[in-house]
A and B are shown apart, each in its own frame.
Chain A
Amino acid sequence: MKDAEIIKVSGKVGKTIKKAIADKKQRMDALLKKDFTNEEPVKIIPPKGTEE
């Protein structure tokens, strides 16, 4: 892992990032209202660390 690089943005790019984050939050909020209980899983990944 390299040190963090700082990218300075302004104008349209900044607004685009802000909107992208807001859109993503809205998308997740909508997904969380859906019920996935009856959806058939593609795969079940077993838990880790249960062996004693």
Chain B
Amino acid sequence: MRSLLRSFPLKELKNNRFVFTVSGKFEYLIEFHLSHFNLPSSIQDIQLYELSFGPKNKPERTSSQLINDMTRNTIFTAIDYFLNKSDCVLMYICDSSDKREQARHRLFAENWYPLSKENFDVDLIIRVIEDQDLGDIYYSGILMKRDFKLYDHFLNEFKNPEILNK
């Protein structure tokens, strides 16, 4: 059970970037960057961030379950730290180009949320976006502290798909 909570030491760098070493030169980079989606004028003061992460120098051989758990937990630590230090809303839209979008989405819905809601008052709002023309399906989520002052306002506006236009 302990591996469910173990994590690697995490370095916060400039520009909302974080890095941690898994082993040797194998690292993960996490970045939170301001979204370019066009928020309506009524909520333009909200800082909407997006999240990206990826491995660097990942070895060919498969990692153990312990390493996978620790990697996942360290990414969650960065998310929780960033959400708590910033007065912002965090959004993810899962990449579907390799058909692994559901696995990415489950990382948030089934792993991150149940753990993090025990530590602070946070919510995950899931939106499944269906592109009726191209047939693509995108799993997206909004991570927001429940005491965020524009919580209801943001959710209300986010029902409008035009928010995802630029």
Cβ contacts B15-38/A at 8 Å (1 or 0 each) = 001010000000001010100110
Contact (Cβ within 8 A) B6 A50: yes
B83 at interface by CB-CB < 8 Å: no
Question: What's the minimum C-beta distance from A10 to chain B, rounded to whole angstroms?
Answer: 4
Interface residue tally on B, bucketed by range? 35 or more
- Which single member of A5, A36, A47, A48 contacts B29 (CB below 8 Å)? A36
List the 8 closest pairs (A to B, CB-CB), nearest first. A49-B6, A14-B131, A4-B126, A41-B11, A45-B10, A43-B12, A28-B52, A10-B132
16 intermolecular pairs with C-beta atoms under 8 Å apart: A3-B126, A8-B161, A9-B161, A10-B133, A11-B133, A13-B131, A13-B165, A18-B131, A21-B95, A28-B31, A31-B29, A31-B54, A32-B29, A42-B12, A44-B10, A45-B9
